[in-house]
Amino acid sequence: MKLCAHRGLSHACPENTIPAFAAAIALGVDEIEFDLWLSKDGVPVVCHDPKLDRTTDGEGVVTELTWEAIREADAGVMTGELWERIRVPQLEEVLDASGAGDVGLNIHIKDPGPGGQLVKMTCDQIRERGLKERAYIAGIEDVLSVSRDYAPEVVRCCLAGQNSPDEQIDLAIAYGCQRLQFSRKVTAADAARAHGVGLVNNLFWSDEREDARAYVEMGIDVVLTNRANVLLS
């Protein structure tokens, strides 16, 4: 099976941090997944939640904070004292850390930003770094729309409509996506229909080997997991 490390090796390391991504890459995962927001002063910030509160010792809404303020937050201390002083990264740091290898980059953009700014900045980075063969943008309708119009050559992954696999496939087709990310509600028939229109099937999520294997047999191509070490063992 192909594995995508969800927020890096997130069950063992502080999620969405450079150590989490580096650990996952060292294990040999096929892809890493991370989340982006745009800071108040226009920096693409890697964080899952709209606020810093859960994953750092800081607080506040990411889009209302400057990068300098976000950088002051400790993103490691919530995982334990051994991780103290790990910082929230920005997009360019994660792209640098991914190296010159072939690890895939599943970039989940939470909000397109004013005028689609965050989507456009991400597409520019993908283009400039020559990452079109291994990076893709995942999002719902607003993100997919900007990405399709601004950089149609950048691969898109549909996250919209996850409560209904049929609707999700329809939306993926409508936005010209090459991939979609099913929830655990997916069936073999859904996976077959998606394959039939040329889509790559991601699954969010599985953390156990037998469970993941069952989804692969159902027609899933890439499994998102928080425990890549368990699924690779």
Distances (CA, A) of 210 to 1, 16, 192, 213: 11, 26, 21, 5
Write the CB contacts of 98 (distance below 8 Å, at least 6 apart in sequence).
21, 25, 32, 105
User: What is the per-residue pLDDT for 206?
Assistant: 98
Question: How far apart, in whole angstroms, are the C-alpha atoms of residue 201 and residue 129?
Answer: 26
CA angle 139, 110, 168 (to 5 degrees): 25
The pLDDT of residue 126 = 98
Q: Residues 32, 98: contact at Cβ < 8 Å? A: yes
Q: What pLDDT, on the 0 to 100 scale, is given for residue 195? A: 98
Domain count across the chain: 1
Residue 151: its pLDDT value, please?
A: 98
pLDDT of 99 reads 93
- The answer to whether 90 touches 68, Cβ cutoff 8 Å, is no
CA atoms within 13 A on the CB side of 215: 27
- Reduced to 3 states, what is the DSSP secondary structure of residue 79? helix
Residues acting as catalytic residues: 6, 48
| C-alpha–C-alpha distance, residues 125 and 137, integer Å | 12
The pLDDT score that the predictor gives to residue 221 is 98
- Check if the beta carbon of residue 52 is closer than 8 Å to that of residue 73: yes
Per-residue pLDDT of the chain (233 residues; tens, 9 = 90+): 999 999 999 999 999 999 999 999 999 999 999 999 999 999 999 999 999 999 999 999 999 999 999 999 999 999 999 999 999 999 999 999 999 999 999 999 999 999 999 999 999 999 999 999 999 999 999 999 999 999 999 999 999 999 999 999 999 999 999 999 999 999 999 999 999 999 999 999 999 999 999 999 999 999 999 999 999 99
Q: Which residues pair with 181 in a beta bridge?
A: 202
Residues 6+ apart with CB under 8 A from 175: 141, 144, 145, 148, 156, 158, 160
pLDDT of residue 172: 98
C-alpha separations of 15 from 30, 33, 149, 194 in Å: 18, 10, 31, 30
pLDDT of residue 153: 98
What are 150-199's pLDDT values in tens digits? 999 999 999 999 999 999 999 999 999 999 999 999 999 999 999 999 99
What pLDDT, on a 0 to 100 scale, did the predictor assign at position 60? 98
CATH number at residue 180: 3.20.20.190
Asked if residues 201 and 194 have their Cβ atoms less than 8 Å apart, the reply is: yes
80 Cβ contact list (under 8 Å, min separation 6): none
- ∠82-51-9 over CA atoms, to 5°? 40
Strand 179-182 relative to strand 155-158: parallel, antiparallel, unpaired? parallel
By residue range, what is the domain housing residue 111? 2-232
